[in-house]
A and B are shown apart, each in its own frame.
Chain A
Amino acid sequence: MRFLYYGIIFISLIQACQPKNVQSEWPQPLEVLKTSAGPIAVYDYEHIEPLFQRNNDTTYVINFWATWCKPCVEELPAFQQLDKEYKGRKVKVLLVSLDMKDDKVAERLGKFIQKKDLKSTVVFLDDPDANSWITKVDPNWSGAIPATLIYNVEKRRFFEKSFDYETLSKELEEVMGLEQ
């Protein structure tokens, strides 16, 4: 009988204090694209929005890009390097693809990710009614890509421009409060 009580207390403790929203904060995708580079989560704006407003000790670097966007492709190595250099320092790089959804999108993305050897998480935002959500990402965003959002609980910065590694890491450190 005593074991039962201890058992109940133990389970209650785990249940009550488990950080429940850690799992549930990462939103459920509407569908998953099966690509040669692994599964890619597909969201509309409503479902991806929690990823732009997470409230924890991590700083998020969210890049809006597309495989067809030349300046976006050119700046991807900077984001890859950032992901590598800041590994283990509570920085999360997320690449939000705004590719057009057609029959070949999974193939296109998969090949591209493999060719460029992208290691950061890639998600797919499929929501053609862009006027309804661009301003929600940032009031100053005109809708042109590349565009990048860097945020944590303290600060939020939005950039409608291309980055090189140096400038990107400087902006990241500014948001993290590490700048000199």
Chain B
Amino acid sequence: MKRSLFILMTIVGVLFYSCASKPSDREEEKKEVLTAEVKPQQSEGYREGDAAMDFTLPNIDGQEYSLESLEDNKGVILIFTCNHCPYAKAYEERIIALDKMYKEKGYPVVAINPNDPEVQPEDSFEKMKERAAEKGFTFPYLLDEKQEVYPVYGATKTPHVFVLEKVEEEYVVRYVGAIDNNYSSAEQADKHYVQDAVDALLAGEEVPMTFTKAIGCSIKVKGK
């Protein structure tokens, strides 16, 4: 009786042992796969410290608009955004708030629609005017009609923010990325990346976070 119990325990023990080693093997394999596949960071587009290109683009008021036309400012909150994108819509109020908050302090908002209206009719120049009037945009809303500006900046989606600091006659990139860390609710956002960047610049301090990522609508390109 005792002997058979011993055999039984041995068999059970061996079974458990033989099968138990598998998960740890799997863990190791998994780690290998993960570390082997880490790719280098993308280098296209502007990053903190780069000099930003000026542009001349049509504004919804019918005038041509350039950064050099700005006077007495300390920088610009440049935002690639558009009409149709739900993420852009979710941030409209917050973009207006940023302009109201920082225009007087020397950091006005300048918005650029990078999309091709032929691909996305809701982002046409006429519709831009309508949307701006509807929402009461307090800032210029430009159309990147030849789609030559957004690729230089490296904007990949809407909304996509570039905070630029005016250094002598040049604009230097100080922040690239999202407005804050919660698209669905301004109240629930607890990291306000753009505000933090501009506040730091105004205080003459280093920008705490110079690059962030967010989900957004891909930019609608001609012929795609």
Contact = CB atoms under 8 A, between A and B. Distances in A.
B213 A142 contact: yes
Interface in B16-68: 16, 18-20, 23, 26, 29-30, 33-34, 37-42
Nearest to B5: A5
Nearest to A70: B120
B182 interface: yes
A144 B185 contact: no
B20 A16 contact: yes
Interface in B140-170: 156-157
Contacts of A154: 33
Interface in A129-166: 129-132, 134-135, 138-146, 153-156, 160, 162
A26 interface: no
A68 B42 contact: no
A142 B157 contact: yes
B117 interface: no
A130 B183 contact: yes
A148 to B, nearest CB: 12
Given A140-B39, A144-B157, A156-B33, A130 B26 contact: no
Given A100-B86, A135-B213, A146 B218 contact: yes
B156 A55 contact: no
A16 to B, nearest CB: 4
Contact of B177 (A20, A98, A131): A131
A130 to B, nearest CB: 5
Interface string B180-224: 011111001001010000000000000000001111111110001
B86 A131 contact: no
Contacts of B157: 142-144
B11 interface: yes
A8 B16 CA distance: 13
A128 B184 contact: yes
Nearest to B27: A55
Nearest to B41: A139
B29 A144 contact: no
Contact of A131 (B16, B90, B212): B212
Contacts of A16: 12, 15-16, 18-20
A124 to B, nearest CB: 13
A101 B213 contact: no
Contact of A68 (B16, B20, B86, B178): B86
A143 B41 contact: no
A131 B181 contact: yes
A44 B188 CA distance: 16
A71 interface: yes
B69 interface: no
Nearest to B211: A131
B181 A128 contact: yes
A100 B12 contact: no
Contacts of B214: 130-131, 134, 143
Contact of B38 (A21, A53, A139): A139
Interface of A: 5, 8-9, 12-13, 16-17, 20-21, 53, 55, 66, 68-71, 98, 100-102, 128-132, 134-135, 138-146, 153-156, 160, 162
15 contacts: A8-B8, A16-B20, A68-B86, A69-B217, A100-B184, A128-B182, A128-B183, A128-B188, A129-B181, A129-B191, A130-B181, A140-B41, A144-B216, A145-B218, A154-B33
